[in-house]
Structure 1
Amino acid sequence: MIGWGRAAAATFLVGFIILCICFILAVIAFSIEILRFNFVRGIGGLLFLAAAFLIIGLVIYPVMFTEDIPLTGENMFSWAYGFGWATTIIVIGCAFFFCCLPNWEDEVLGNIKPYYGGSGV
């Protein structure tokens, strides 16, 4: 296997491992009452880190692939490359969600009376 292929696979693997760690931490954070919103922003930061590793792998792969391998035919990349970009976009969205979630802690937990608009009576 070519070195750049190993590097791309390694960055995807590191991003996947960080993503699995974030999933486990999120399950723990939302299961234990005391820890609910204490380290949710940390999970968001780890998700941004996972997204960075995924983007690095998604950039290394096509650049080196097109330089080293002669292109024949119409399909240069398989569906897995598009799946990788979709996963990266979802991870970035989840990272923003986890970073912004503590700002809405009272609304999520139901600690404040909901406001439905209207006259405010």
Structure 2
Amino acid sequence: MAEIDARAYEVASVAQLLTVNNEGDDLANADTDYRLVMAAITEHIGAYGGTATGEVTIKFKIVADAKGVDVAIETTRKMPKRPLSKARYFTTGKGDGLTLRNPNRETMFPGQDLGRRRFGDPS
């Protein structure tokens, strides 16, 4: 009987390791995470414009002893974050709270700057 070449058993690359480890489930998980991040980036740019950052990390945990080498593969993802929004407020007269009223600006119609309707205003 012919002997099988030892190279047939070698795991010679990261791509091959992802394919054979855990019966290919690790590769499938990494691929799913990649597609989810790419979809989130596309959606983020459509909603907010500008740039979006996502991340897929594939971590190989390798533990060796005299009996052999154990390999565990973990895939994590980071989705793009919603841009921060901010609003301008002012300190109250006592300085112990916030107010919408700008102390440096008077309004012609008090309350209009709060988004309230004036009496008789149809809008």
Q: TM-score, normalised by structure 1?
A: 0.32
Considering fraction of residues, name the structure with more helix. Answer: 1
Larger Rg: 2
